[in-house]
Structures are given as C-alpha cells and as structure tokens.
Amino acid sequence: MKVKTLQTNSDGMRSVAVRYVMVLAFGVSLLLLSSIEVLDAIAIISIVATQILLGGLIWRKIRDSAPIEVAEFLGMGSAVGFSLALISSQLFREILPRSIAWLVLLLVAYGFCYFVKNASLTDEALVRESESESEFKSEPKFELSVIFCGTLIALSTSWYWLVPTALVCTGFVTWLLLRENFKSLGVKAYMLYRAMLVPLGYWGIQVLLDLTRVETIRNSNWWSLRFGVLQDPDVVFNESMINSVQKFGASDNIFFAGYPLQYHWLSFSWEATLGSIRDLAPFAVSGIAGPAIVMFAIMTLVYALARRLSDNPFAPPATVAVISMMCGGPISLFRALNPYSFSLNFSLIFVFAIVILLTAIERKISAFSVLMFGLFVFTAVGSKVSNAVGIASGLMVVFVFALLRRENIRRSLFLGCSAALAVALYWFFAYRVPGMSGGSTIRLDFGEIFVQKANYSWSSARSVLILGFGATSAAILFPLSGFLLHRGDDTHPYKLANRFAIGACFTLIFLAVLVADDPESSAYLLEVGLAVSIPFSLANLFRYAKNIASNKYFVVFISITLGLISAYIWNRLYDDLDGSQFSTETRQSLILLIPLLVALVLALLFLFISRRLRSAVFAFVLVLVTTSSGSFIANAGSSYRFGVATRSGSDQIAEPIIGSTVYRELLNWLEDNSVNHDLVATNRQCLEVKINPKECLALWSLTSAISGRQNLVEGVYPPNSESQNDERDRRMSIVLEFVENPSDENRDALVEYDVKWVVVDHAITNLRDWAPFATERFKNLAGSILELNP
C-alpha cells in the first residue's frame, strides 16, 4: 500500500491543507484557553504558521522526491523556519521594520532552493533504493491527535490545570489506536472496547465543563508558576532577554548597559519575532505562547523521527508518550524535557532536526543538506551552548566508524566541516566578543549531579553514596533499556543517525556525571542525551517485538500494567520519605530499584512459564520503559489537586518575582512615557538571594522585563559578566546613594552614564523627595518614576 505524502497528488495536498487548518485551530484555541487575547493569539499563530509553512516548503525542496508526511513537514518546517526567521531578524534588525525583518531570509532561502539545483556531493548513491525510505509501509494512525495529545501532556507537567485535559486526551487517543487490535480479538473483546467509550465520554464532558470555568481553578499568575506552586524566575529573565536581543542583539544587553551579551540567546531572538506585528502584553510570549509552540514542534519531530525508525504504527505514539511524560518523575533527573529551561527545549527542536536530517543524508547527501546541517548546528548551539558537546561527540563516532569501515568518509568530512564552521561562526560573531571575559564554574566533580539533583549528600557514608549513585544511574537508564535489544549496527536501517545518537547520548550522560558547575547545568547534558536516544531505544523495542510469539498481546498488557503500577509505587513511596538523612537516602535508593526488581521477576516468570527467552527479555525492557513514562500518570492527580488547593496563596509566591498589580502599573507607565533608547536606573538591587524579597526585588530583572528599557545595572545579569563585578558595584552604589541622599555629585554621575529615568522602589527607601535633582513624574504605592534634571 502506498502512503499518501506531500508528493503524491492534488488530493493529498488538499488533505494536507485541511490538516494544516486543524493545526492552526489547535494553536489558536490553546492560546485563547491560556489567557492570551484574541488578536494577540491570531498575530502569534499567523507568524508561526508563516515560518513553519515556508520552512516546510524549503525542506520539501531539499528532500527532492523523497516522501514527506504531515508530521515531518510541520516539524522540519519548524526547525528550518524558526532558525532562518531568528537569524534574519538579527541581520536586518537595524535595516528593516521588525514586522518584516524576520521574513527576508525565509523568502530568499525558498527562492534559492527553487531556482538552484540541489547538487549531490557524491558520485554514487549512498544506499540502494530498496534500502531507502522511498515510501512508508503503513499509514500513520491519528497523526495529529497524537501530536496534540503529546503537546498537552508535555505542557501539563508544569501547567497543572491542563492535567485532566491531557489525561482524557491520552485515554481517547489510546482508545482510537487500539480499535483494530480489539477487533482482531473477537466480538466480546470488541464489545468491551466499545463500552470503554462510556467512562471516557463522561470524563470528557467533565473536562469540557472544567475548561469553561478554568479561571476558578488556576491562579491568575499560573503561567509564572511550575507545577502550580513553584515560582519560575526564568520567565521574567526570558522576557528581559526577548527585549534585550530585540534591541541590541549580542552587541549590548538590557541589564548592564555597555556590555556585550555572552550567552546562548538565539531562542529569545526567535521569541522576539512572535511580537513583530503587534505589541503583545508582557509575558504573553515568554510565559505562555513560546513554551506551547516549542512543545508542539518537538512533538511533531519526535513523531516524524519515530516514523522513520520503525514501521510499527504504535512506535510514533509510544515515543511521543514517553518523551512528553518524562517530565513528572520523583527526581528532576528523570526527564527528557525541562519545564524550567525554555532555551533547552527550544534547542531540542534542532537536535531532533539534525537526527532526522541524518536519516535523509543516509539516502543522499547534497549541498543543500550540508548547508541545512550547519544551520541546525548553529541554532542548536546558539540556543544552548552545551549542545556542542553532544553534536561533536556524535560526529566523532560517525567519523570513527567511517574510517574503520572505509565507507562514506567524504560524507563524514562534509558534515564535520559544516558543524565546525557553524560553531565557529556563532562563537566569534554571536557569543564571544574580543576583549570581554566571563566566569565559568565548570569543574571535574564526579557524582556531584546526584548531590545537586537527586537529594544525596557528600557527608553520607560511602556505602550509602555507592548504593545511591548506582540506583539513580540505573533509574536514569530505564528508558534506554531498549538498547539491550539492539541487534548490531549493520542491521540498522539508519546507521548514520543511529551512530550519531548513540555517540551523543552516552557521551552526554557520562559527562553529566563527570563534570559539574554552580548553576547545576550538567543536568542539561543528561536531558539532551536522553531525548535524542529514546526514539532509537523504542525503535529497537518495536523491531524486537516482531518476533514475539502469539501471546504478544498478553505480554504487552501485563508488562505495561506492571510498569504503571511500579511507577505509582515508586512515586508514592518516594513522596513519603522522612526521618534521618542516612535512612532516607538508603530507602530512596532501594525505592528507585523497585521497577528493576519487578521487571526482573516478570521476566523470570515468563521464562519459566513459556520457556521463551525473547518474550522474557521483551517484558523486562517494556516494564522499565513504561515506568519511566508512567511516573507522569502516577503524579498527575496529586499535582493537579495540590495546584488547585494552593491557588489562593500562590499570589504570595508569584508577585515578589513577577510584580504585583501596582508594580506593573509603575513600570508600564515608564514604557508608555519614555522612548525606546532611554537608559534607566533603579534602586531595586541585590547581589545575592535574600530571604526577604523586599531586599532582592531586582534579582529577576522585572524593570527591564516590563518596561523594555535598558538598565544601567540590574541585579547580577547578564550571565557570564563576573569580570564586571567591580563596575557593577560602582554603578549600584551611585544609584543607591542618589535615591537615599541625592546630591549634585551622584546626580551628575548618573547623567554621565546617560541615565534619564530612575525607578524608585518604595519598599527599599523611605525618602519621597528628590528635588531639585529630579522631578517625580509618576507615583503609586509601589514606587516613583523620577526624571533626572540636567
């Protein structure tokens, strides 16, 4: 059976158009449900839709006659469109209006692909046509439904109010996917299957009713909270970064005037494009639209990659489920996505795009594909610098295999040179500025990640640490247990992508355990390693399942059921830990090993009863994989209830960081009554986190986030500016002295820096009169806006 793709006929294109409209409707509906105004939602989705459409058309040109399904069109369209849009917005930032600056490179690239031939870089085909992906073997099952559901699940791991919606969607999609399987089991089984629709329908109606009164369930500042109860200060930082790169790119920054931005900032540059045709409310993109769109793009890429790696129709839904659900485990290490790091999630779009591109290069390497590889590397590293390690290690493995087997060495060299050039371009032109230096706390520190993220302590006994590190390492590797079923590199349909993924994965995991730094960012290495390798692990599992005997359904049912039960027990026991440090750490380690014990016992039972080693091994792996994703289901109910229960008190958590109504009124006045290039100073300063929020209100850059104005100095930002601490202290002291004891001297010092406005936080000072050195232009309960007198 030939599967309809984007290359088949006009009917296929009409079908794609209908699906594209469905995607747009889903996007607009999700944003409206998330408190974004109608016109803002339409403006955001219009820009994203244009980027994905043009990016998808460019990707289609690069792929020539190869088949492209809707998920791949959307996913790779996102990767191509987002990367070209953010680069274009920076290249033409000072030349063209914001509304069209991001569009130029997309149009140029599409025209280039249309008029220039995509020349092959090798004389021979890299694989025989029979070995290539010339056509898919089966139709995708409920493709968009699976992607929508995965998006909701991934978001609900932090947007707690979406938990019921995500769970019901999961139930409905699972019910749809299992239709043919229940039919094959007979009339009684199919009647049971149809009866399942009754409880699903009831819960679906309940969810719809809840969504109509969602404002009574969630706090008004829910978008700044994670899991409903934890404040995420990065939301405010992200908003400031959007304002910063939109104004200055990497040449300057909004937090500390006159200093270049040494940071992986490309993700924020893309977010800035979403507000290019309409002035959006603060945090509309950084807190809501950005994370939602990125999760959708990731799910499309995961689905498309799983379709490439396995012809089993259940492989894509299973892969989407595992990756989207691996965000709700008992320990923050057990996740592939990170609700606290937008830049990491954004970078994963391009990491997955690299892997999908490698599956295409397996068939044919062309000039366009090499250029696209460099573009993806540039954006992946520019969004999260730590990705450079994984990409380099993956390419190193590819090159070593090419040398040892003397196959396609030219291809490996092309890819290596393209990646090296991309990293060099980013390093020298968008990250590292000559003459400037930043601090780094990266150090060799084996096992520190378990202390930082898994609740162990170096003061514990050595035996406790060995047990704890071993148990946590085993639990981290549960979703990768599918590699135990790997039959060898020579049998893999996509050797290039497989080698790259394995090299990147295990290098990143090893380095995450070996090195550490003060911001605890080694966890990012681990998360990217898990994300890039899980699709390959599950593809091994589904290939292995082909040869399971006739009791396959029974083995799958028992294994998944025990995996979910293990996840539930795992989470409940972990939550109940208390007592002394020694006993807690020891019990924690033993709890983490419960799924491994359950999987081993089940495997031995199958081996003893059926005498089939293949079934036993398959059951062992499936229990571990299910446990990894099942932690979301185990945690979902308590997470939702806790989030709703603490709704009334969450303002006290959120407002010290994102600002109360009067603080936002104060800073909105500054935005409305100053010009874009005005420089601002504020007494809302601190150098370290204080217990009393009033002593540290500036730490999370609220002034630059809401007003969009550049600051003389704001907290400890920008990142990697430790070399400027002396100058930072000097600026802070001048501002604080002016606010507390204004004089000609400190007023002139501010004027010398070109400061025009001073934001005075009334919580920090009791002084209310700054005449004749400044004129109070606005005042409310939160503070005063002063305009310096010349």
Alpha-carbon dihedral of residues 670, 673, 676, 682, nearest 10 degrees? -30
The model's confidence at residue 42, banded by pLDDT at 50, 70 and 90, is very high
Q: Which residue has the tokens 């930002």?
A: 717
pLDDT tops 50 at residue 124: no
CA-closest candidate to residue 762, choices 687, 671, 672, 697? 697
pLDDT tens readout for residues 46-76: 999 999 999 999 999 888 767 788 999 999 9
pLDDT tops 70 at residue 524: yes
Percent of the chain residues topping a pLDDT of 70: 87
Percent of the chain residues topping a pLDDT of 90: 45
pLDDT tens readout for residues 603-633: 999 888 877 888 889 999 999 999 888 888 8
pLDDT tens readout for residues 310-349: 988 899 999 999 999 986 555 667 888 888 889 999 999 9
- What is the C-alpha to C-alpha distance for residues 358 and 497, in angstroms, rounded to an integer? 5
Q: Residue 691's pLDDT is what? A: 44
Mean pLDDT of 712-734: 83
| Strand ranges, E, within 599-703 | 679-682
Q: Residue 326's pLDDT is what? A: 82
Residues facing 225 on adjacent strands: 231
Length of the chain: 790
Q: Residue 598's pLDDT is what? A: 93
Q: Residue 444's pLDDT is what? A: 82
Q: Nearest 5 degrees, angle CA 191-CA 194-CA 199?
A: 125
Residue 685 DSSP class: -
Pairing state of beta strands 774-779 and 783-788? antiparallel
Mean pLDDT of 491-519: 87
Q: Residue 10's pLDDT is what? A: 52
pLDDT tens readout for residues 240-254: 999 999 999 888 999
Q: Residue 311's pLDDT is what? A: 87
Half-sphere exposure of 343 (CA within 13 A, CB side): 24
Q: Are 376 and 357 in contact (CB under 8 A)?
A: yes
Q: Are 652 and 236 in contact (CB under 8 A)?
A: no
Mean pLDDT of 278-295: 92
pLDDT tens readout for residues 362-410: 888 888 899 999 999 999 999 998 899 999 999 999 999 989 888 888 8
Out of 76-80, 199-203, 295-299, pick the least confident. Answer: 199-203
Q: Residue 581's pLDDT is what? A: 54
Q: Which residue has the tokens 């290098």?
A: 507
Q: What is the pTM of this model?
A: 0.92
Element (H, E) at 560: helix 552-575
Pairing state of beta strands 783-788 and 755-761? antiparallel
Q: Residue 767's pLDDT is what? A: 85
The model's confidence at residue 14, banded by pLDDT at 50, 70 and 90, is confident
What are φ and ψ of residue 230, in 5° steps? -110, 130
Q: Residue 750's pLDDT is what? A: 95
CA-closest candidate to residue 664, choices 696, 699, 708, 695? 708
The model's confidence at residue 562, banded by pLDDT at 50, 70 and 90, is very high
Q: Residue 694's pLDDT is what? A: 46
Q: Domain locations in the chain?
A: 1-158+227-457+488-540, 659-790
Out of 407-416, 743-752, 753-762, pick the least confident. Answer: 407-416
